[in-house]
Amino acid sequence: MAIKTIGVIGAGTMGNGIAQVCAVAGLDVVMVDISADAVQRGLGVVAGSLDRLLKKEKITQADRDAAVARIRGSTAYADLAGADLVIEAATENEGLKLRILKEIDAIVSPAAVIASNTSSLSITKLAAAVSHPDRFVGMHFFNPVPLMALVELIRGLQTSDATLAAAQGFAATIGKTAIVARNSPGFAVNRILCPMINEAIFALQEGLASAADIDEGMKLGCNHPIGPLALTDLIGLDTMLAVMEMFYAGFNDPKYRPAPLLKEMVDAGYLGRKSGQGFYSY
């Protein structure tokens, strides 16, 4: 199917990033959020990001202006009626996402693809909230969306071959490389990444090496661009704990138990960059 108009639910970091890459690729975008202020902030972030690309001569003035013009901000779900693909990019809260998906489903065409930009929630369960679950797929974008080359496509139990193919075509259109994972806690990337980070926290807890040395070892020994503990500070220790607890419950396997140090730091309010203190001070 031809995807020409994209609906994006959420004008925050992920939503405005998705809107930007779609607009730059020549697609029309309707970006919806609950308040006009949130929409305007999202549009402002996109404009600022494109201005930086213009300054670095990555895009032309004409390209910048055309991309900005392709994004329409709105607070009305009714404006999604003509979308070929709607991507829900709200906060990682199952109840909230289910409510949003039901609202989208009541408005869009039965032929439209509905996707969720979730990093951990069950695509099969989210798909059950819409009337055509075969048209539902997971699209896990990575932050910052304009810079990260990957989009992880997650196939729920109900997702059709045609829907997956449409999602793969869309990813190619916006210049992303797509990998496909089945519906399972953490999908592919976080299933590997988060336990590695958790193990790094165990290593620190046991006094195996300092935080700086653990990170330096992984950067220089494994060619990672950022160490696992610095990455946890960037992600948020509370978010990392929630993911590991979800893995622990979902797999019922003790190898996914969260490191006690991670729990204690979250209890102390040491959440990483957003609190000013994590494994490092900011």
Beta bridge partners of 30: 7, 72
DSSP 256: G
The one catalytic residue in 132, 140, 183, 198 is 140
278 touches 232 (CB < 8 A): yes
- The 10 Å Cβ neighbour count of residue 260 is 11
* Spatial separation of the C-alpha atoms in residues 111 and 258, rounded to whole Å: 42
83 touches 7 (CB < 8 A): yes
Catalytic residue flag (residue 119): yes
- Cβ burial of 207 (10 Å; 0-12, 13-18, 19+) is exposed
133 touches 122 (CB < 8 A): no
The one catalytic residue in 132, 152, 183, 198 is 152
Quickly count helices (H) and strands (E) in the chain.
Answer: 11, 8
The one catalytic residue in 119, 122, 183, 198 is 119
Catalytic residue flag (residue 264): no
176 touches 21 (CB < 8 A): yes
Nearest-5° Cα angle at 125, 120 to 126: 75
The one catalytic residue in 116, 183, 190, 198 is 190
Active site residues: 119, 140, 152, 190
